[in-house]
């Protein structure tokens, strides 16, 4: 029995003597156990010792030669104990479980994951259910599906018709599926910034802060407004209509209305109001109105805290029951300062880190590890309700399904028992819980790809250097960063890729065929991006036109073949909506490579 494979690590384990022997029927009952189910025969439930009763989701699991004793005072504690037992049984192919006693409890009451289903990828129901099963096994208890336009709102078909959105029936089904696995599905609908999917349509420009477009803080003109006008009554009527359709579908009493990154807030229709009242006060009034809309529908409001960190004096005047979500995705994000501001306001808050998978192709493990640890330390120090790990889909959501997994695993470990994360064998846990006990090579290959995204000396905000080679023609902001990496040869990335590719060549995928193909494709796409980047960063001005014509044609040929596989893999786990948008970014790069020739 290898206890370092448990995710999260339990608080206390004491070895016993002897073994508990079980049959296939017992194993099946444990593995299929759902929230509030009757305990399998062979497990006896007892009262929890007094010293553990005040601890959240606490339990004692006492495995003896003749029986298993489970002591707890709550349904969530019972479910946590059974989840631990599920993981233990995965290590016991011989139907023999070593005796031990586990005393365990959660350090954070909220342990969540947020998955972006608006930037191109909308997972199939089967994929979402598979994800929920895994998150439940990792003891997460909250899931948010980040939405901008990917719910089938009645009367708004023009906005979502090409996105393969979630339907009312699917939301209800997911809500029940989550509840049976100890997870609260929290509605999430961004309600201020990131609304360009709506505001691009003529019928919705009446709600836009800058209907004719605006110049962002990076100096680039955006023809489509991204932010609702806070000064327009119609904006709130629009949101009311969305909330009336979406919120009743969820059993959760929480609602995340977003409110982050309103890029042009105060630059257009609300400019005069902001000049008169103050931009900070206009923002606070907007949040106050969102709070009222949520409360009228029986929900407790959650909002992002990024703007409030700029105006911490506003916190004391906002409704007392609001929950603030402080986000930051770099390893050096000032979570300590942020959390201190929120804690000193006396308000409830959650700390949100990220998987570092987006804009990277294969992940950025060094940043991911530092970011999640930093977030957890600040959350624990300043008394946060919990921590959340987010997975975003910027610029086509090009990362494959396995890439955020190390972040999910580490996030689960830190959300339950952050002081024991150094005891965790992450690669071994990925092998056991994701790939299957016999597929250790896939976990090792995945971690090599993850490490390739975080070489020493390269630090790009929310992206890796190979990653931006695929989309900087689509997002010019990143192009300006290339000069500081002139002459970079990608030697570290190539070394990691060669090791990963050798491992992949040595293994038969078996039942993990899709995961194998996704990791193999990730390695191939990263190799392409490094080859392209190597040529560009040797060129005088880092331009495609400065690369030898024959080399460009070869790169275009390679990328065309990769796009065929990209499309195939997409449809194995995701709905067709968004595929053309995502693949189109790569296809545009092919056209540019050929055009320059």
Burial code of 299-321, b = ≥16 C-beta within 10 A, e = fewer?
Answer: bbbbbbbbbbbeebebbeebeee
| pLDDT at site 596 | 58
Q: What percent of the chain has pLDDT over 90?
A: 94
Name the CATH superfamily, with its identifier, for domain 110-192+228-257+281-306+315-424: Glycosidases (3.20.20.80)
In this prediction, residues 363-372 reach a mean pLDDT of 98
* Contact in structure between 303 and 258 (CB atoms under 8 Å): yes
Between these two residues, 481 and 567, which has the higher pLDDT value? 567
Burial code of 146-182, b = ≥16 C-beta within 10 A, e = fewer?
Answer: bbbbbbbbeebeebbeebbbbeeebbebbbebbbebb
Q: Which residues are catalytic?
A: 261
Tell me the pLDDT tens digit for each residue of 518-554: 999 999 999 999 999 999 999 999 999 999 999 999 9
Tell me the pLDDT tens digit for each residue of 176-191: 999 999 999 999 999 9
Burial class (CB in 10 A: 0-12, 13-18, 19+), 132: buried
Report the 10 Å Cβ neighbour count for 401: 21
Q: What is the mean pLDDT of the chain?
A: 96
- CATH 3.30.379.10 range(s) for the chain read 3-104
* Contact in structure between 270 and 229 (CB atoms under 8 Å): yes
Tell me the pLDDT tens digit for each residue of 278-294: 999 999 999 999 999 99
- CATH 3.20.20.80 range(s) for the chain read 110-192+228-257+281-306+315-424
Q: Whole-angstrom Cα distance, residue 473 to residue 468?
A: 9
In this prediction, residues 296-311 reach a mean pLDDT of 97
Question: What CATH number was assigned to the domain covering residues 3-104?
Answer: 3.30.379.10
**Beta bridge partner(s), residue 460:** 463
| pLDDT at site 312 | 95
Tell me the pLDDT tens digit for each residue of 5-38: 999 999 999 999 999 999 999 999 999 999 989 9
- Give the contacts of 353 (CB within 8 A, at least 6 positions apart): 327, 328, 329, 371, 372, 374, 375, 376, 387, 388, 389, 390, 411
Task: Say whether 47 sits in a helix, a strand or coil.
Answer: coil
Is the pLDDT at 597 greater than 60? The verdict is no
pTM passes above 0.75: yes
């Amino acid at each position: 029995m290898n206890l370092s494979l448990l995710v999260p690590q339990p608080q206390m384990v004491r070895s016993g003597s002897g073994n508990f022997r079980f049959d296939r029927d017992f194993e099946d009952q444990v593995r299929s156990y759902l929230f509030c189910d009757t305990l399998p025969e062979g497990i006896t439930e007892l009262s929890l010792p007094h010293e553990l009763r005040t601890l959240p989701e606490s339990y004692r699991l006492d495995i003896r030669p003749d029986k298993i004793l489970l002591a707890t005072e709550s349904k969530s504690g019972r479910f946590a104990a059974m989840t631990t037992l599920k993981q233990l049984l995965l290590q016991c192919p011989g139907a023999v479980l070593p005796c031990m006693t586990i005393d365990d409890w959660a350090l954070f009451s909220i342990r969540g994951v947020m998955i972006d289903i608006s930037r191109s990828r909308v997972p199939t129901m089967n994929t979402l259910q598979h994800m929920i099963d895994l998150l439940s096994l990792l003891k997460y208890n909250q899931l948010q599906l980040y939405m901008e336009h990917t719910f089938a709102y009645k009367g708004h078909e023009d906005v979502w018709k090409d996105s393969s959105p979630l339907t009312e029936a699917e939301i209800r089904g997911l809500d029940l599926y989550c509840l049976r696995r100890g997870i609260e599905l929290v509605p999430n609908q961004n309600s201020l910034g990131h609304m360009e999917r709506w505001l691009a349509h003529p019928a919705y420009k009446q709600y836009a802060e800058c209907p004719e477009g605006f110049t962002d803080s990076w100096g680039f003109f955006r023809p489509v407004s991204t932010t609702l006008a806070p000064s327009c009554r119609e904006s709130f009527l629009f949101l009311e209509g969305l909330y009336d359709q979406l919120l009743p579908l969820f059993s959760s009493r929480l609602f995340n209305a977003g409110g982050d990154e309103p890029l042009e807030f105060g630059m257009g229709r609300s400019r005069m109001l902001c000049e008169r009242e103050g931009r900070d006060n206009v923002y606070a009034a907007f949040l106050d109105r969102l709070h009222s809309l949520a409360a009228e529908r029986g929900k407790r409001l959650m909002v992002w805290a990024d703007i409030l960190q700029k105006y911490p004096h506003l916190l004391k005047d906002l409704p007392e029951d609001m929950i603030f979500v402080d986000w930051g995705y770099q390893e050096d994000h000032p979570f300590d300062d942020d959390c201190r501001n929120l804690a000193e306001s006396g308000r409830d808050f959650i700390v949100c880190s990220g998987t570092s998978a987006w804009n990277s192709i294969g992940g950025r493990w060094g940043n991911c590890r530092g970011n999640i640890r930093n977030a957890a330390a600040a959350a624990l120090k300043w008394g946060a309700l919990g921590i959340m790990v987010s997975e975003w889909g910027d610029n086509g959501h090009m990362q494959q399904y396995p890439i955020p997994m190390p972040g999910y695993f580490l996030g689960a470990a830190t959300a339950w028992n952050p002081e024991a994360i150094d005891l965790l064998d992450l690669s071994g846990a990925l092998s056991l819980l994701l790939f299957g006990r016999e597929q250790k090579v896939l976990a090792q290959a995945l971690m090599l790809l993850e490490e390739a995204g975080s070489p020493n000396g390269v630090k790009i905000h929310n992206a890796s250097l190979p990653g931006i080679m695929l989309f900087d023609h689509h997002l010019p902001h990143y192009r300006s960063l290339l000069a500081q990496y002139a002459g970079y040869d990608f030697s570290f990335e190539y070394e990691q890729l060669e090791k990963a590719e050798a491992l992949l060549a040595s293994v038969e995928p078996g039942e993990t065929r899709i995961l194998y193909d996704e990791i193999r494709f990730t390695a191939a796409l990263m190799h392409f991006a490094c080859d392209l980047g190597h040529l560009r960063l040797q060129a005088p001005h880092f331009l495609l036109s400065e690369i030898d014509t024959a080399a460009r044609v070869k790169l275009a040929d390679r990328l065309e073949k990769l796009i065929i596989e990209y499309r195939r893999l997409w449809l194995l786990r995701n709905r067709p909506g968004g595929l053309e948008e995502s693949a189109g970014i790569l296809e545009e790069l092919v056209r540019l490579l050929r055009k320059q020739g």
